[in-house]
Amino acid sequence: MSLTQSTSNALSSISTVSEQISVVSQNIARVNNTDASRKVANVVSGPGGGVSIAGVTRTANKLLLDTYLDANASSQTQSAVNSALDQLQNTVGDTDSDTSPAALMSKLNTALQNYSATPQNSAVGATVVTAAQELVTSLNEATQAVTDVRNQADSAIATSVGNINSLLSQFQTLNQQVVSASGSGRDITDVLDARDTVLKQLSNEIGIRTATRDNGDMAIYTDSGVTLFDKTARSVTFQQSANLSANSVGSPVYADGVPIAGTPHMMSISSGKLAGLVEVRDSIAPTYQSQLDEMARGLISTFAESDQSGSGLPDAAGLFTDGGSSSVPTSIVPGLAGSIKINASADPTQGGNAELIRDGGIAGASYTYNSDGGASYTDRIQQLITNLGSTQAFDSSTQIHSTGSMLDFAKSSVSWLEALRQSSSNEAESRQTIADRAATSLSQATGVNLDEEMTNLLSLERTFQASSRLISTVDNMISTLLQAAS
C-alpha cells in the first residue's frame, strides 16, 4: 500500500470515527430518556481499505413495542375503573361503617324495636324519624356521589377524545416525515423515536394495533379494528352531556363515524383509559345506582300504609315517600334514591307527628291502624319490624340478590361495592406490574445502556488515536524521503 493510500485510509478512519463518536455521545446524552432508542452509525468499507458511514439506524423491536402498547392500554383501563370505585367507596364506607346504608338501616330497625318496647314515649318515636332521616340522607348523598362519578367520567371521556385527536395529528406530521425521507439516506431515527412516543401516549387513551409498510408508512387501528390513522388521521368525536341524571344515557364515542365506545355496541374498544371511563359511566355507576334505587323503593314499600277504612283505597306512602308523592312504586324507579324523603306528616321538624308511625294515618285518616288511639298500641310498629326482615323481590339490574330482606339487601350492596373495589385494586396492581415489565423489556432491548456506550466511546477514542499516529508516521516518512531526495 502506498503512503498516499495509507494517509487516505487514516483520514477516512478519523472522519468515520468522529461521526461514530458523535452518535455515541448523543446516546449518552439521552441515557435518561426512556423514549430514546440506541442509535448506531453503520460503517462500510470502501475501495482501497477506507471506511465511511453508510447511515445511522436505531435499535427497534416491534414485538416488544406492541407488547408494551397492549399492556399499557390494559393498565390504563383498570386504573380509570379503580379510581372511580375508590371515589364511590369513600361515600358509603364498608359494612362496618356507621354511615353505610346497611348500618343506618340496622339503626332504624333498632329504633323501631325500642319504640315497640315503649310505644307511649313520643321521644323514642322521634328517634325513629331521626334514624329514618339519616338513612334518607345517606341514600340522597350516595346518589349524588354516583351522579358526580358519572359526570366526571363523561367529562374525562371528552378530554380523552381531545387527547386522541391531538396525538393523531402529531402522528400524521411525524409519519409524513418518515415517508418522505424513505430511501433518501437522511437520518430519521429521532423522528421514528418521536413517532413511537406518540404511539405510547396514544395507548394511554385507547387500545391500538399498528401495521407498517415498506416505505415506513404506518397505519393505526383500535383494538376492535376501527381505523384511527391510514395516510391521514381519522376524526374521533364525542358529545359531552351537560348533566347525566340517573336515568340518562351518555353519548357514544365515534371514530370515523363508527361507534367505538358506549351504546350502541358495534366495534367497542376493550382497553385504554377511554374504555375504562365508559365502563364506569355506563355500567358500574348505573348498577350501583340501581341498588340504591331499589333500597329506596323497598323502604317506601316496607313502610307503606294500607287502607283501614274498608273503602278500597290503594296503598299509600307512609314514613318514606318519593319527593312527597303518595304513590308506592312497584318496580325500580331510576333516581329514586335521590328523591326519597321523610313524609312531613310524621316528621316533628316539619310540623308532623312521630306518633303516626305507631298509629298509622301518615297518608290520611283512612290509613289509621290504631283506631282506639291507645298509647300502648304496638301492632303497627311490629308490622314494620317484620316488613324490614321479610323477603321481597328486587330488580335484576342490581346484580345482587333478586330476593331477600331489606336489611340483607343493603348489606349485600355494600359488600358488592367493596368486593368490586378490592378486585379492581388487585387487577390494577397486576396490570401495572405487567406494563412496567413490558416497559423494562423494551428499554433493555432498544434503549441506551450507559456502560456499553462508555465502552464504545473508549474504543473509538483509541481508534482515533491510532489513525492519528498513522498519519503522523506517514508524514514523518514523507518528510524523511523529501530530505533525502534534496
Binned average pLDDT, 10 residues per bin, the chain of 486 residues: 53 61 76 83 64 71 96 98 91 69 94 98 97 97 94 97 98 96 82 96 98 94 97 97 89 96 90 97 96 97 96 97 95 96 97 97 97 95 97 94 91 91 95 96 86 72 61 61 69
Which pLDDT score, from 0 to 100, does residue 49 have? 56
- Looking at residue 186, what is its pLDDT? 82
Q: Is 183 contained in some domain? A: yes
412 closest CA partner among 302, 279, 288, 246: 288
Cell 333516581 appears where? 335
Instruction: List the Cα angle 418/419/423 in 5-degree steps.
Output: 115
Q: How many other CB atoms sit within 10 Å of the CB of residue 474? A: 19
Quote the CA–CA distance of 178 and 401 in Å, as a whole number.
58
Residue type for position 249: V
Question: What is the residue range of 100's domain?
Answer: 66-434
* 440 is a domain residue: no
- The pLDDT assigned to 172 comes to 98
Q: What is the DSSP letter of 311?
A: S
Q: For position 6, what pLDDT does the model report? A: 52
Within this chain, do residues 250 and 387 fall inside the same structural domain, yes or no?
yes
Same domain, 196 and 282: yes
| 115 Cβ contact list (under 8 Å, min separation 6) | 121, 124, 125, 127, 128, 357, 358, 381
Which residues make beta-bridge pairs with 340? Answer: 322
Give the separation between CA 347 and CA 354, rounded to whole angstroms. 6
Is residue 442, in this structure, part of any structural domain at all?
A: no
Name the one residue in this structure whose C-alpha cell is 330482606.
405
* Residues with Cβ within 8 Å of residue 123, at least 6 apart in sequence: none
Q: 44: helix, coil or strand?
A: strand
Report the candidate in 176, 189, 254 with the shortest Cα–Cα distance to residue 215: 176
Are 26 and 403 within 8 A, CB to CB? no
Residues 187, 101 within the same domain: yes
Give a yes or no: residue 335 inside a domain. Answer: yes
- Do residues 211 and 278 share a domain? yes
Which residue is associated with the grid cell 312521630?
A: 354
Are residues 371 and 472 both part of a single domain? no
Kindly tell me the sign of the dihedral angle through the C-alpha atoms of 183, 185, 188, 192. positive
Helices of type H across 93-221: 101-117, 122-181, 189-205
Number of domains in the chain: 2
The candidate with the shortest Cα–Cα distance to 265, out of 278, 280, 246, 284, is 278
Q: List beta partners, residue 259.
A: 254
Whether residues 324 and 460 share a domain: the answer is: no
**348 and 214 share one domain:** yes
Note whether 139 and 259 are same-domain residues.
yes
Residue-level pLDDT at 57: 76
Q: Which of 229, 221, 197, 200 is nearest to 270 (CA)?
A: 221
Question: What phi and psi values does residue 309 have, to the nearest 5 degrees?
Answer: -95, -10
Looking at the structure, tell me whether residues 31 and 52 fall in a common domain: yes
Q: Domain check: are 242 and 268 in the same one?
A: yes
CA distance 415 to 422: 10
With b for 16 or more beta-carbon neighbours within 10 A and e for fewer, the 289-299 pattern comes to bbbbbbbbbbb
Phi then psi for residue 205, to 5 deg, are -90, -35
CA distance linking residue 113 with residue 374, whole number of Å: 18
- Residue (of 408, 446, 463) closest to 43 by Cα position: 463
* Pair (341, 419) in one structural domain: yes
Query: What distances in angstroms separate CA 99 from CA 89, 169, 277, 341, one per listed residue?
Result: 12, 49, 27, 17
Query: Is residue 285 one of the residues assigned to a domain?
Result: yes
Q: What stretches of 169-269 adopt beta strand conformation (E)?
A: 208-212, 218-222, 227-230, 232-233, 236-238, 253-255, 258-261
pLDDT at 41: 73
For residue 465, what pLDDT is reported?
Answer: 64
Hey, what long-range contacts does 383-390 have (CB within 8 A, 24 or more apart)?
A: 384/112, 384/302, 384/303, 384/357, 385/109, 385/112, 385/113, 385/116, 387/302, 387/303, 388/105, 388/108, 388/109, 388/112, 388/302, 389/109
Question: Which residues on neighbouring strands pair with residue 264, listed in sequence order?
Answer: none
Walk across the sheet containing 208-212 and list its strands.
Answer: 208-212, 218-222, 227-230, 232-233
Using alpha carbons, select from 131, 125, 147, 146 the residue that is nearest to residue 99.
131
Q: What is the pTM of this model?
A: 0.88
Coil, strand or helix at 365: helix
Q: Where are the beta strands (DSSP E) in 78-133?
A: none
Identity of the amino acid at 230: D
Residue 88 lies in a domain: yes
Q: How many CB atoms lie within 10 A of CB 445?
A: 15
Q: Determine, yes or no, domain membership for 52.
A: yes
Same domain, 457 and 426: no
Rounded to whole angstroms, the Cα distance separating 61 from 208 reads: 17
Q: Is residue 406 part of a domain?
A: yes
